[in-house]
Amino acid sequence: MGRPTPLRRSVTTVATALGGLALAVALPASSAGAATGPFSYVYDDGTGPRMGLLADPPSWVCITLPEVADEAVPPAHTPRNYTASTATVFAGADCTGDYFTLRPNGGHASERLKVRSVVFS
């Protein structure tokens, strides 16, 4: 075949760059920054039980559940993790206190597990 010509090298370089771009576009953009899927929990707003939901929450960020951030209200319970990431739930706000880990894609706990915050990994 001989030595590559400048045109052949340019075509190879462009093809390599386009292949890398195609691969980057094909990978899920949210994989590095979000736990794709929903995370739900139950809380009481004073009129009865309500369901809270975090949709595609950020990864590696502590999230205090807004409905139960105030220590004067009862904590949330019955967490269900349908994200693609592991969820670690905490008894206290700001990811403090006792914790429990829920596996990805369906990990859950009963109403006995009281939670105020969560982090996804």
Sorted by sequence, the CB contacts under 8 Å of residue 99 that are 6+ apart come out as 88, 89, 90, 91
Q: Tell me: the pLDDT tens digits for 53-105? A: 999 999 999 999 999 999 999 999 999 999 999 999 999 999 999 999 999 99
Q: What's the predicted TM-score (pTM) here?
A: 0.72
Tell me what pLDDT residue 16 has. Answer: 35
Please determine, for residue 22, whether its predicted confidence score (pLDDT) is greater than 70.
no
Where are the alpha helices (H) located in the chain, listed in sequence order? 6-26
Please determine, for residue 37, whether its predicted confidence score (pLDDT) is greater than 80.
yes
